[in-house]
Amino acid sequence: MTVSIRSFTKRGPGIVFIVSAPSGAGKTTLTREVLSSHPEMSLSVSCTTRAPREGETPGKDYHFVSETVFERRRAAGDFAEWAEVHGKLYGTPRRLLERRLRRGHDVLLDIDVQGARQIREHFASAVAIFVLPPSLDELRRRLAGRGTDAWKTIEQRWRNARHEIQEIRGYDYFIVNRDVDEAVKRLAAIIEAERLKVCRYIRKPK
């Protein structure tokens, strides 16, 4: 197969970047910061049956829907992945995701470990990144410091985190979120490195 400079001027489909983390590890903050410095990327806005938190904007942070609407869409195959997390349902709209990828746009997915497994089954070239807290004790402190959940809920999220961290073996990269600025730099570095992989430009002969 002949390789020319022109081979590197047009990349194939967009890249799916998965970012997962235990609740309270800071993945939402990291993804927002990276998206602000990478406006060419887009965030896949998930549907959820949970109520909006203070400061969240419908359609920007999540599409807030009833369980009836969610189940109807799930049955129709409208989600590329879906999962039940802390008793609430979350799902990634399939059509918009696939359309963006076909147009060559990179898409960031802020999803849990269940959803990440499903996405990687359907998008083999997806890049999975796991965000870790510095320690489980620090994670508990952050959860309590948010002031948005009852103590029983905080303890449930903390216990779930211990199980979610075991899923890190199925990820390509990890970032320990000790310092937000440093963690953002590392996430951005992973994105740039993946974009420069030769395999994303050079097509293997059939």
* 158 domain-assigned: yes
Q: How confident is the model at residue 149 (pLDDT cuts 50, 70, 90)?
A: low
* 94 domain-assigned: yes
Residues linked to residue 18 through DSSP beta bridges, in sequence order: 109, 128
* 1 domain-assigned: no
> Is the pLDDT confidence value at 189 over 70?
yes
Q: Please tell me the distance from the alpha carbon of residue 77 to that of residue 73, in angstroms, as a whole number.
A: 6
Number of domains in the chain: 1
What is the residue range of 159's domain?
11-200
* 206 domain-assigned: no
> Is the pLDDT confidence value at 184 over 90?
yes
> Is the pLDDT confidence value at 204 over 70?
no
* 56 domain-assigned: yes
> Amino acid letter at 190?
I
Q: What is the mean pLDDT of residues 111-116?
A: 91
| Residue 147: per-residue pLDDT | 59
Q: What is the mean pLDDT of residues 119-136?
A: 92
Q: Please tell me the distance from the alpha carbon of residue 133 to that of residue 155, in angstroms, as a whole number.
A: 16
> Is the pLDDT confidence value at 163 over 90?
no
* 118 domain-assigned: yes
Q: Residue 74 sits in a domain of what CATH number?
A: 3.40.50.300
Residues in the chain: 206
pTM: 0.84
Q: How confident is the model at residue 10 (pLDDT cuts 50, 70, 90)?
A: low
Q: Please tell me the distance from the alpha carbon of residue 82 to that of residue 79, in angstroms, as a whole number.
A: 6
Mean pLDDT of the chain: 87
| Residue 204 falls in which region: left (phi positive, over 0), alpha (psi -120 to 50) or beta | beta
Q: How confident is the model at residue 186 (pLDDT cuts 50, 70, 90)?
A: very high
Q: How confident is the model at residue 86 (pLDDT cuts 50, 70, 90)?
A: confident
Higher pLDDT, 43 or 152: 43
> Is the pLDDT confidence value at 170 over 80?
yes
The residue to which tokens 């440093």 are assigned: 182
| Residue 182: per-residue pLDDT | 96
* 3 domain-assigned: no
3-class secondary structure per residue, the chain:
CCCCHHHHCCCCCCCEEEEECCCCCCHHHHHHHHHHHCCCCEECCCEECCCCCCCCCECCCEEECCHHHHHHHHHCCCEEEEEEECCEEEEEEHHHHHHHHHCCCCEEEECCHHHHHHHHHHCCCCEEEEEECCCHHHHHHHHHHHCCCCHHHHHHHHHHHHHHHHHHHHCCEEEECCCHHHHHHHHHHHHHHHHCCHHHCCCCCC
| Residue 34: per-residue pLDDT | 94
* 6 domain-assigned: no
Judged by average pLDDT, the poorest of 7-21, 31-45, 115-129 is 7-21
| Residue 137: per-residue pLDDT | 82
Q: What is the mean pLDDT of residues 134-157?
A: 74
